Amino acid sequence: MSIIITLTNQKGGVGKTTTSSSLITGLSLNGYKVLGVDLDPQGNLGFCLGVDVENTTTIYEVFKGQATIEETINKTEFGDIIPSNILLSGAELEFNRAGREFLLKEYLEPLKQKYDFIVIDTPPALNILTVNAYVASDFLIVPMIPEILSLLGVTQLRETVETVKRFYNEKLEVMGLLLTKFNGRTNLAKEVCEMAEQIAEQLDTKVFESKIRNGVAVAEAPAHGESVLLYAPKSKPTLDYVNFVEEVLRRIKHHIKMMKARS
């Protein structure tokens, strides 16, 4: 049965897609069978991992009933990908039937036996696509940059998470906040780390020990259709993402252990 992880933050430019592609690749390199799902109408996750997003069936066609979920899966060497495209930007108006919050959960159900992990990349918004991801997920990971405005954006997530847990998915957990584009030598970064810890506490979670440093390889990798882990395996961001993937696995194992102890 798959463990489903969503990368989320309604603020753009915080590294959601880079983190999603790195998590997919990193888990695959650890021997797990992984599926990536792009719910961002910009379609960047598929592009970053080498999928021809302009000439393939996407999650939009699945939601419209024009294709099966299996028909959208693109095989790559390190993880399978369900891509997205700009047509998904009309989801808020197009998909307005009762129970629309459960669309993604229903379509992913037949795939949960085939993958160890499903990683969902979401748009920079708290809309019906994001809610669909939350309803389908076991865990949320919140990438954020060490800036005050980024922190304010994270605080707005709490209400959405609490609503989803109350009405749609009581098992949803925030696994942690991940600081990206990090430069620990600045005073601002140190101040933000302290504030991030306070916000994480409000979300009943923790800040990841791993901090993702910036590097030119992060910007270059998408043009080569690769995750930064493969494009620049010795770069600082890659080393940080390797540590992050290991930390994700540790947190999941700890969570499973705690759940078994309670039952």
**Predicted pLDDT at 126:** 86
Are the C-beta atoms of residues 79 and 117 closer than 8 Å to each other?
no
Q: What pLDDT digit, counting tens, does each position of 162-201 carry? A: 999 999 999 999 999 999 999 877 777 778 888 888 889 8
**Helix-strand-coil split of the chain, %, nearest 5:** 50, 15, 35
Q: Give the residue among 10, 15, 12 at the shortest CA–CA distance from 208.
A: 15
User: What residues contact 67, with CB distance under 8 A and at least 6 apart?
Assistant: 57, 61
**Predicted pLDDT at 67:** 94
3-state secondary structure of 213: strand
**Predicted pLDDT at 75:** 94
**Predicted pLDDT at 206:** 94
pLDDT per position in the chain (263 positions), as tens?
A: 899 999 999 888 899 999 999 999 999 999 999 999 999 999 999 999 999 888 899 999 999 999 999 999 999 989 999 999 998 888 777 777 778 999 999 999 999 999 999 999 999 988 999 999 999 999 999 999 877 777 777 777 888 999 999 999 999 999 999 999 998 777 777 788 888 888 898 889 999 999 999 899 999 999 899 999 999 999 999 999 999 999 999 999 988 888 788 76
Long-range contacts of 198-202 (CB under 8 A, 24+ apart): 199/151, 199/154, 199/155, 200/176, 202/155, 202/158
| Rounded-to-integer distance, Cα 174 and Cα 50, Å | 29
**Predicted pLDDT at 2:** 92
Instruction: Tell the burial category of 137 from Cβ atoms under 10 Å away from its Cβ (0-12, 13-18, 19+).
Output: buried
Compute CA 201 distance to the chain's CA centroid, rounded to the nearest angstrom: 20
**Predicted pLDDT at 91:** 77
3-state secondary structure of 180: coil
**Beta-carbon count within 10 A of 237 CB:** 25
Domains defined along the chain, listed by start? 3-262 (3.40.50.300)
pTM: 0.95
Give ∠ CA 174-126-36 in degrees, rounded to 5. Answer: 65
Q: Which helix (H) or strand (E) holds 20?
A: helix 16-29
| Rounded-to-integer distance, Cα 33 and Cα 51, Å | 18
**Predicted pLDDT at 6:** 98
| Rounded-to-integer distance, Cα 254 and Cα 259, Å | 9
Are the C-beta atoms of residues 190 and 184 closer than 8 Å to each other?
yes
Task: Note the residue count of the chain.
Answer: 263
